[in-house]
């Protein structure tokens, strides 16, 4: 979408610094090194954005700096912070009638690539630092989320981890939705996007209460945003690795697994018809001719068939703390993998017709401490007790989907 009469001009970091010292409490509490990071980022952000004033608002540098600072605060721990999907920032003096909904709005983040904000309510959000209302943080959090939905360049970790956050938020979100007592304001129950924005407001305005009353979700926000706000002093950044638990040491846990999907030998044979024919061919044609050449050929064919079959199908075990995968039947030739539920983000289970017969594919999406990995494991199990898996993995904060 295009707008006329915009301002796209740089502002010097020194001007930004003075303005933020005066009117942005979050900035005032930062250490000198973090102040530097904050002004640099704000200047770079302003350089990229087109600001549009509405209803005769006088668009000052102060407005452009403060509005941008709200975005920089939300993304302060992240690597990428420009939010490229949102080229235009439209500022109204007060509430305004939305041309789309015909209702009065204070702000709106539009997937068409612009964000609207009421200057009066941006200021009010900043001037009342602990009422858990902050329009700027709220709308820029939507923008951060929508930026990745629009496949624009987004922070790699945020993009990969957001589903884990959603899975972890499920409990608090349902509590709020069902009208049970919650520290978050009711508006967060509207949908998961609003819930994210409302929790980010709370995260910055009442971090102590948030940490105490909803600790798990607080930690998850620290990981997601790579930042930990502290009420009376400077926010901390680069906290992600303190809280992430990505120990994926290979192990079958001591206690019996909760659920097991075996790679059935019989079904694997059936599923690999063509390879069974290869082995039969060896047995019928080659083996009766006992000479060195036929023995070697037989050996190679049988061995390759065994390795192929062994590698193709997985046994999958859900333990109390981790999911364990092992390919095939011959342990020595098996590939093994353990993923703890803290780093398992999403599991999708769908019908798969590998080698023309039925089975299930388990697609796992997890974080290995450095990057996000997608792994598909085929299993010859046909019956998968959906409700049990959903119930179990929901408890473990893993997103579970059955796409068929």
Give CA–CA dist 201/140, Å, rounded: 10
Nearer to Zn ion, 202 or 267 (CB): 202
Q: How far is the CB of 139 from Zn ion (least distance, A)?
A: 7
Q: How far is the CB of 194 from Zn ion (least distance, A)?
A: 5
Nearer to Zn ion, 133 or 157 (CB): 133
Give CA–CA dist 38/16, Å, rounded: 9
Neighbours of 374 (CB within 10 A): 11
Give CA–CA dist 223/236, Å, rounded: 12
Nearer to Zn ion, 108 or 209 (CB): 108
Q: How far is the CB of 101 from Zn ion (least distance, A)?
A: 13
**Strand pairing category for 322-327 and 336-340:** antiparallel
> Which is nearest to 238 in space by CA: 36, 77, 81, 369?
77
Q: How far is the CB of 208 from Zn ion (least distance, A)?
A: 24
375 φ/ψ angles, rounded to the nearest 5 degrees:
-130, 130
Nearer to Zn ion, 152 or 194 (CB): 194
Q: What angle do CA 86, 68, 123 make, to 5 degrees?
A: 120
Nearer to Zn ion, 69 or 115 (CB): 115
- What size, in residues, is the chain? 404
Nearer to Zn ion, 190 or 289 (CB): 190
Which DSSP string do the residues of 132-159 spell out, in sequence order?
A: S--HHHHHHHHHHHHHHHTT-S--HHHH
Q: How far is the CB of 214 from Zn ion (least distance, A)?
A: 20
The residues in 169-208 that bind Zn ion, with binding defined as CB under 5 A, are: 194, 197
How many residues interact with Zn ion (rule CB under 5 A)?
2
327 φ/ψ angles, rounded to the nearest 5 degrees:
-85, 135
Q: How far is the CB of 193 from Zn ion (least distance, A)?
A: 7
Chain residues that interact with Zn ion, rule: CB under 5 A: 194, 197
């Amino acid at each position: 979408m295009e707008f006329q009469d915009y301002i796209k001009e740089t502002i010097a970091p020194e001007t930004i610094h003075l303005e933020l010292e005066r009117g942005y409490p979050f900035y005032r509490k930062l250490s000198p090194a973090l102040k530097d990071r904050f002004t640099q980022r704000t200047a770079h952000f302003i350089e990229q954005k087109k600001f549009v004033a509405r209803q005769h608002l006088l668009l000052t540098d102060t407005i452009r700096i403060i509005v941008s600072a709200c975005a920089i605060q939300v993304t302060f721990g992240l690597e990428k912070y420009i939010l490229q999907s949102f080229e235009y920032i439209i500022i109204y003096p007060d509430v305004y009638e939305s041309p789309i909904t015909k209702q009065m709005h204070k702000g709106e983040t539009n997937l068409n690539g612009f964000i609207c904000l009421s200057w009066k309510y941006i200021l009010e959000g900043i001037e009342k630092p602990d009422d858990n209302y902050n329009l700027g943080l709220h709308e820029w959090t939507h923008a951060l989320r929508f930026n990745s939905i629009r496949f624009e360049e987004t922070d790699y970790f945020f993009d990969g981890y957001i589903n884990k956050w959603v899975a972890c938020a499920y409990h608090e979100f349902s509590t709020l939705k069902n009208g049970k007592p919650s520290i978050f304001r009711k508006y967060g129950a509207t949908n998961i996007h609003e819930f994210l924005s409302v929790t980010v407001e709370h995260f910055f305005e009442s971090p102590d209460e948030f940490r105490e009353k909803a600790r798990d979700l607080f930690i998850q926000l620290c990981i997601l945003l790579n930042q930990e706000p502290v009420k009376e002093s400077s926010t901390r950044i680069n906290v992600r690795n303190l809280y992430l638990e990505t120990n994926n040491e290979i192990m079958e846990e001591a206690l019996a697994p909760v659920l097991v999907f075996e790679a059935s030998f019989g079904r694997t044979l059936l599923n690999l018809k063509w390879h069974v024919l290869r082995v039969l061919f060896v047995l019928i044609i080659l083996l009766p001719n006992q000479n060195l050449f036929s023995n070697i050929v037989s050996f190679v064919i049988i061995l390759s068939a065994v390795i192929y079959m062994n590698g193709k199908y997985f046994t999958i075990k859900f333990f109390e703390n981790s999911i364990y995968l092992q390919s095939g039947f011959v342990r020595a030739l098996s590939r093994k993998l353990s993923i703890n539920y803290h780093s398992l983000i999403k599991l999708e289970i769908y019908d798969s017709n590998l080698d023309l017969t039925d089975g299930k594919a388990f697609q796992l999406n997890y974080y290995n401490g450095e990057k996000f990995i997608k792994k598909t494991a085929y299993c010859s199990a046909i019956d998968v007790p959906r409700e049990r898996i959903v119930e179990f993995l929901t408890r473990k904060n893993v997103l579970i989907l059955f796409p068929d």
